[in-house]
Structure 1
Amino acid sequence: MDEVFKDRDDYRKNIIIHELGHALGLCHKADRVNSALHMATNSKSAPTAVDKANYMKLWG
């Protein structure tokens, strides 16, 4: 990942946040949901309120 995205720190950060969401048990979200787990154009640099609510549903 470092070699492919070496000049794209923002993109790497988004990928890491997205994959961390999966590690915490979160799944991909539909197009209209504001989430770091959104598939098409993930430009979230932090978990959103939707992500936090879904985390709380899973883990309390």
Structure 2
Amino acid sequence: MIDLQRGEHLTLMREFTRGKRDGDVADQLVRDYALPHLEADLRWLDTAEARMGQLVNNGGQE
């Protein structure tokens, strides 16, 4: 599930980046806003994946 979500985010980021080159100023502003949020979501997905790995490796024990 995390890999699927990561792929979707990366696809959106590519589309938004391409749109920044081709879009008008309003489009660029919207994309400037959205891109850092997608980047933050990707970092969170990485963290969530690492935490789940910890659960598996520790047998759910902390």
Please report the TM-score for the alignment, with normalisation by the length of structure 1: 0.36
Q: Normalized per residue, which structure has more helix? A: 2
Over alpha carbons, which structure has the higher Rg?
2
